[in-house]
Amino acid sequence: MNASMKILVAVSMTAILLATGGCKIKKNEPPAKKADNGVEIFFDNAGFNADEFIAGIYQEKIAPYFRDNAHDFNEVRTAIATDPQAAGRKYGHSENPVQTPWSFPVRIEGTIIDANTKSRAAFVSVDTDGDSKADAKVQVGPVFKGTSLRDVLPFIPFSAFKNQIEYANVGRSLNKYVYDNNLSKLPRDDLVGKQILAAGAFTLPPKGQEIVVTPVEVTLSGGAQ
């Protein structure tokens, strides 16, 4: 290699070093994506324990909320039939009504006319107005569909948590707490004909679909006539 070539190589290497000198090598990090509302969703935060969170506030805040704010189911149902949005503003809660449906805290009372307790997602069908037709399903677990109990509580907003995973875990933990502590000892047989009184919540279903109540407490009485 002659002198001219050596000088050219040296100049080229210097340029490469100068160009890369400000770069830093970073280890791979979990990717983040954005939900529809622009909130970044990250991997699970191992430092947050949803079970402990729910256990710590259930007796102090959650149970009293349902005692103090549950509305008569038939009253709410009638209001929804007239104007769902007006009913939501009066009886329900939604952190963002434009993006998420209203959820309603209710007291439901009636007669069990059907029961499906063989499935883990067990439920009973309840007639609340005496016409021998089901007006709502009441879930009895151990598996509960949906997160109505979480979504109806104004003091557990999505914005209070770091990401959607934490928020989802809170919903599952609340459902589990309610079943383990309040509903697990309910009888599973011979329920048709019994009277049911329950406090809980439901989320406004799409038009034409049935109402599904997730209870925080259930009282059964009577039996088939």
Which pLDDT band holds residue 46 (cuts at 50, 70, 90)?
low
User: So what's the pLDDT on residue 13?
Assistant: 47
Q: Mean pLDDT for the chain?
A: 86
What is the rounded CA–CA span in Å between residue 141 and residue 129?
Answer: 24
Tell whether the torsion through CA atoms of 204, 155, 157 and 172 is positive or negative: negative
pLDDT digit string (tens) for 150-187?
A: 999 999 999 999 999 999 999 999 999 999 999 999 99
Provide the token pair at 173: 């933990």
pLDDT digit string (tens) for 30-42?
A: 433 343 333 343 3
pLDDT higher than threshold 70 for residue 8: no
Residue-range domain boundaries for the chain: 23-221
Residue 207 burial by CB count (10 A; 0-12/13-18/19+): exposed, middle or buried?
Answer: exposed
User: So what's the pLDDT on residue 203?
Assistant: 99
What is the rounded CA–CA span in Å between residue 116 and residue 191?
Answer: 10
Tell me the β-bridge partners of 127.
Answer: 111
Helix 84-91 vs helix 73-82: crossing angle, to nearest 10 = 140
User: According to CATH, what is the number of the domain 23-221?
Assistant: 2.40.50.140
Provide the token pair at 4: 């001219």
Pairing mode, strands 195-203 and 212-221: antiparallel
Segment (H or E) for 164: helix 164-178
Provide the token pair at 16: 């490469």
Name the more confident of 204 and 26: 204
Largest CA distance in the chain: 110
| N-to-C CA span, the chain | 107
On the question of a cis peptide bond just before residue 101, with omega within 30 degrees of 0, the verdict is no
Does the pTM of the predicted model rise above 0.85? Answer: no
Nearest to 91 by CA among 74, 109, 115: 74
